[in-house]
A and B are shown apart, each in its own frame.
Chain A
Amino acid sequence: RKEVEQDPGPFNVPEGATVAFNCTYSNSASQSFFWYRQDCRKEPKLLMSVYSSGNEDGRFTAQLNRASQYISLLIRDSKLSDSATYLCVGVPMNRDDKIIFGKGTRLHILP
C-alpha cells in the first residue's frame, strides 16, 4: 500500500457544486496533515492545515479521521478559480521520518 494515496481524478464539477476528496495514509507516525493546491507549472501553495477536530476556512472544510487513517477536503460553492491539483501531505512527529506527499487530485470546475 502506498504511504499516501489520492484519487488522481480528474474531478469535473460544475461551478457552484460541492466537491469532496479523500486522502488515505498508511504511516501512523504521521502527525500533522496539510492540504496544498498546485496550479499548473507552479509551486504548491498551502491551502489549510488539518486539525484533529476538523476545521473550516470559508468554503473549505478539512477533516482528519485517525482511526480510519484518512483526511478529507470539502469545497462548497466551487468557483472556476478552484481548478487546480490538490495535494495532501503527512508530516511525521519524529524529525527523522520522511514527509510524504500524495500524487494529487486534479479538479476541473466547469462553467
Chain B
Amino acid sequence: ETGVTQSPTHLIKTRGQQVTLRCSSQSGHNTVSWYQQALGQGPQFIFQYYREEENGRGNFPPRFSGLQFPNYSSELNVNALELDDSALYLCASSLGPGGSVNNEQFFGPGTRLTVL
C-alpha cells in the first residue's frame, strides 16, 4: 500500500450538484496531484498542490477547484456537475513538485464518481 488514502470510495450525484473529494498524502510528502480517469483513458492531470498553493493546472474549467491543508492533505471540489464528470478521480502524492526521478507519484485508490 502507498499510504495515500481517498474518501469516499464511491459517490453518486446528480447533474448540477457539487462534490468534495478528499485525499490524505503519504507521510513526508508535501505535493498532491489530482487526476480524472475516464474509462479506457489514461489519467488526465487536473492540478497539483505544493505547500498549500496551486502549482500547475491541466485543461479543466474553473468549476474544478482544490485546496491543500497545512498537513498536506487535499480536497478536490467540483461545482455544477455534468454527466461527463463521471470518472475515477485519483490523487497522488510525491516528495515534491517538478521533474526528478526522486519525485515518483504514489496513487490513492481513487474515488469513483457517477453523475446521473
Contacts and interface: CB of A to CB of B under 8 A. Distances in A.
B16 interface: no
A45 B105 CA distance: 9
B99 A93 contact: yes
Contacts of A91: 98-100, 103, 105
B97 interface: yes
A89 B97 CA distance: 14
Contacts of B50: 95
B101 interface: yes
B43 A44 contact: yes
B109 A42 contact: yes
The contact size tier of chain B is: 20 to 34
A32 B100 contact: yes
B7 to A, nearest CB: 14
Interface in B71-116: 90, 97-101, 103-110
Main SS class of interface, B: loop
A34 B42 CA distance: 14
A87 interface: yes
Given A93-B98, A95-B97, A96-B55, A101 B103 contact: no
A102 B57 CA distance: 17
Nearest to B99: A31
8 contacts: A4-B42, A6-B42, A43-B108, A44-B43, A91-B98, A91-B103, A99-B105, A100-B45
Interface of B: 2, 33, 35, 40-45, 48, 50, 55-58, 90, 97-101, 103-110
Interface of A: 4, 6, 30-32, 34, 42-46, 49-51, 87, 89, 91-104
Given A31-B98, A94-B99, 5 more contacts: A91-B103, A95-B55, A98-B58, A101-B43, A104-B42
In the A-B complex, the 4 residue pairs with the closest CB atoms: A31-B99, A101-B42, A32-B99, A93-B99
